[in-house]
Amino acid sequence: MSTTPTQVDAWSLPEGEARVRQLFAARFGAGADPGAWSAPGRVNLIGEHTDYNGGLCLPIALPHRTHIALRPREDDLIRLASAQEPGAVRELRLADVAPGAVAGWTAYVAGVAWALAERGLPVRGFDAVVDSCVPYGAGLSSSAALEAAVAVALDDAFGLGLAGSPQEPDDAGRTVLAAACVRAENEIAGAPTGGMDQSASLRARAEHALLLDCLDSSVRHVPFDLAADGLALLVVDTRAAHSLVDGQYAARRATCEAAARTLGVASLREVTPGDGLAAALARLTEASEDPDTAVRRVRHVVSEIERVEALVELLDAGRAQEAGPLLDASHASLRDDYEVSCVELDVAVESARAAGALGARMTGGGFGGSAIALVDVERVAQVEQAVAQAFAARGFAPPAFLVATAAGPAT
Ligand code: GLA
């Protein structure tokens, strides 16, 4: 049986800008002249569920972006429209934005304005429209792309001076914007996520992976150009539903935080691999309410941070073709110890490997979303075909594919 794998194409910057300008004119009048900005989704190479443990992660920004056209207002009214919600204009007042007060996608937009205002920055109301080619619900951070697009739009429109110019992004200012996006997501949208996605969208660089140290928010830009090595990073959107607002993500985070308390450390980052980990697991076995779960979760986090370091070493040494086993080990750890994989992700990973991928893993929060595979460039079509066939044979919805390259940050 042969299937034609679906590809998720990115829009060019002019195409995205034209779309939101047109939509803005349709919703708010042709005479109005908004500014336009955009921000990327991300895919994480390795370092999963490490960000809220003060660990390391290594995302890249995708060429797929969320676009926004925005015009500041003199009052505190926020009027919002989305191409994904034909005909509707949502209205709310900035003064009314508070934890628990805003539902749905508008929480990600209004939440960023709220978080910036909470910092004492001079943000008021605005009219805005958004459109996006970041696949929604695919674990590629469409919500962080939306937040980051709003952040750079408000920064520019209200003259906050934090983002810097596209030629010279201001990383310190962008760290402040990323923190506001995280507050929007945690406190207004109610998703207890860790901050990797917002940093990737705002602080990544084209042709580089972002080594993010979540202990102090410092970053290093690691050269990442797989094509130069004849390789490709294939992303498989399994189309299996996932949600970060549900309890599974929060439960993982709570177990890690409880384990850190039991161990008397500020975060699991302080647990060193080897003897340190062995001692920590012994202590958790004695002192945890559910020792088996605590041991698995901590073992994942500590080993995953080591894998980030190992992958960065390979990339720095120009040895990306040796990265497959690290991806495989990350997947096994997320599946068996962290228990955040699902059957669609496992099938994607296994069928990609069977078709010749050098390594593969789930990426993002898990429970659905996307997997990544490191593939020789000439084998991309073959791997896509094999994964699509494995999905069809299992009766799963057809997956979608994109070949990810490291693109630039929000501008
Ligand atoms: C989601 C969250 C991130 C991170 C990943 C898992 O993408 O938004 O903060 O925790 O899951 O690595």
Residue of 44, 50, 51 with the most ligand 1 atoms within 8 Å of its CB, for mutation: 51
User: What ranges do the domains of the chain cover?
Assistant: 10-223, 226-404
> Whose structure tokens read 């201001």?
170
Which pTM value belongs to this model? 0.97
* Nearest atom (ligand 1) to Cα of 50: 12
CATH of 10-223 given 3.30.230.10, 3.40.50.880, 3.30.70.270, 3.20.20.80: 3.30.230.10
Q: What is the pLDDT of residue 292?
A: 97
> Whose structure tokens read 């699902």?
342
Pairing of strands 126-132, 77-82: parallel
Separation in Å, CA 151 to CA 136, 159, 210, 319, 343: 19, 12, 19, 36, 36
Q: Of these residues, 51, 127, 131, 197, which one is catalytic?
A: 197
33 belongs to the catalytic site: no
**What is the CA(396)–ligand 1 centre distance, in A?**
25
Question: pLDDT digits over 110-148, tens only?
Answer: 999 999 999 999 999 999 999 999 999 899 999 999 999
**What is the CA(269)–ligand 1 centre distance, in A?**
16
Task: Please give the average pLDDT of every successive group of 10 residues along the chain, which has 411 residues.
Answer: 82 98 94 94 98 98 98 97 93 97 96 98 98 95 98 98 95 98 97 96 98 98 97 97 76 98 98 97 96 98 98 98 98 98 97 98 96 98 98 97 98 97
Q: What share of the chain is helix, strand, coil (3-state, %, to 5)?
A: 45, 20, 35
Degrees, nearest 5: CA angle 402-382-223: 45
Degrees, nearest 5: CA angle 317-56-175: 110
| Token couple for 271 | 């647990």
* Nearest atom (ligand 1) to Cα of 144: 8
Among 368, 362, 359, smallest CA distance to 48 is for 362
DSSP per-residue letters across 133-183? -SPTTSSS-HHHHHHHHHHHHHHHHTT---SB-SSSB-HHHHHHHHHHHHH
Q: Kindly report the CATH number that applies to the domain delimited by 226-404.
A: 3.30.70.890
**What is the CA(147)–ligand 1 centre distance, in A?**
15
Q: What is the pLDDT of residue 87?
A: 83
How far is it, in rounded angstroms, from Cα 10 to Cα 206? 15
Check if 193 has its Cβ closer than 6 Å to any atom of ligand 1. Answer: yes
Question: pLDDT digits over 395-408, tens only?
Answer: 999 999 999 999 99
CB contact at 8 A, 61 and 45: no
Check if 197 has its Cβ closer than 6 Å to any atom of ligand 1. Answer: yes
